[in-house]
Amino acid sequence: MRYMMLLSGTNPSTPPPPELFEAIMKLGGEATEAGVLLDTAGLLPSSSGARVSLAGGNLAVTDGPFTESKELISYALYDVRSKEEAIEWASRFVKLHRDLWPGWEGQTDILQVMGPENVG
């Protein structure tokens, strides 16, 4: 099963420490070696994006930034055996932020990617 993980958060006043990036690279290496990490990348702030919405039959385009208090920071695409395994990988990632970047707060949304097993 494939799962998209979307990391969002608020950054403390201090920049992320180099140890955090090293730990993220190590965890990504473990996930790649295990054959479960398909893709990952950072995302630019919403100020560089746009939102296309549909309401009352009308399309509207709104340039960022968006009003959410937390910015989307990155995504990762995993292919794992279960939702619980996806949660385990996401938890390890968020714990790195807790342990190595004091003051950082955020969340990872874990969404299953629709596949043939989900259709009729």
Domain ranges of the chain: 2-118
Cα 72-35-89 angle, rounded to 5 deg:
45
The pTM of the full predicted model, rounded to 2 decimals, is 0.87
The domain defined by 2-118 folds into Alpha-Beta Plaits (3.30.70)
* Count of CA atoms in the C-beta half-sphere (13 A) of 68: 14
The tens place of each residue's pLDDT in the chain, 120 residues long, gives: 999 999 999 878 899 999 999 999 999 999 999 999 999 999 998 899 999 999 999 999 999 988 776 788 999 999 999 999 999 999 999 999 999 999 999 999 999 999 887 887
Q: What is the pLDDT of residue 69?
A: 64
For residue 90, which of 35, 24, 42, 18 has the smallest C-alpha distance?
24
